[in-house]
């Protein structure tokens, strides 16, 4: 008899409105007891569980190491909330380094770059995307110096923020390029 492994459902969201989630995601959130929520939006998402909070085990941390440890110690199914597409500059890569693929199920949502280009009403197939969220800025500087026309930068609100990007543009004298 084969033993059922637990499943980690990695759900990308782009809104804090429960009503905007797909029926599949709503069902997962209603039926799975263990939910991991990024610290940065824990307060907005815990509202979803107001009625059933006593039945839920909510976990939140700003540390990937703490999250991995919690997941490894938890043998039941889990819903892990992320932003946008978890496999695009997200937690997906880190999870794949620590857990078997068969245990992970990904439910991507629209990404910040998709939302931005939607608002700009521009195609984005030729865009170079660079994330400086939790990363060094070497790739950003290299791309800025190369003066790429279609560049999307995902900032880090804690470290590599918009002010840093603006300073780089000014230093390279390409702030109006």
Crossing angle of the two packed helices 162-171 and 138-145, in degrees rounded to 10: 40
pLDDT tens per residue across span 79-114: 999 988 999 988 999 999 999 999 999 999 988 899
Whole-prediction pTM: 0.81
Give the bridge partners for 164, in sequence order: none
- pLDDT of 113-145, one tens digit each? 998 999 999 999 989 898 888 788 888 888 888
46, with CB counted inside 10 A (0-12, 13-18, 19+), is middle
Any bridge partners for residue 12, and if so which? 82
**Mode of pairing for the β-strands spanning 57-61 and 78-83:** unpaired
Sign of CA dihedral 102, 66, 9, 40: negative
């Amino acid at each position: 008899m084969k033993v059922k492994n637990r499943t980690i459902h990695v759900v990308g969201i782009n809104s804090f409105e429960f009503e905007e989630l797909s029926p599949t995601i709503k069902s997962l959130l209603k039926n799975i007891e263990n939910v991991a929520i990024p610290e940065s939006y824990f307060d907005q998402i815990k509202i979803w569980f107001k009625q059933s909070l006593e039945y839920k085990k909510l976990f939140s941390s700003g540390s990937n190491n703490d999250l991995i440890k919690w997941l490894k110690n938890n043998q039941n199914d889990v819903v892990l909330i992320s932003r946008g597409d978890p496999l695009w500059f997200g937690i997906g890569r880190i999870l794949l380094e620590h857990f078997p693929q068969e245990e992970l199920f990904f439910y991507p949502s629209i990404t910040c770059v998709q939302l931005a280009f939607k608002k700009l009403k521009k195609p984005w197939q030729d865009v170079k995307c660079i994330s400086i969220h939790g990363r060094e800025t070497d790739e950003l500087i290299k791309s800025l110096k190369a003066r790429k026309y279609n560049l999307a930068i995902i900032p880090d609100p804690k470290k590599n923020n918009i002010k840093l990007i603006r300073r780089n543009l000014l230093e390279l004298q390409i702030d109006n390029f």
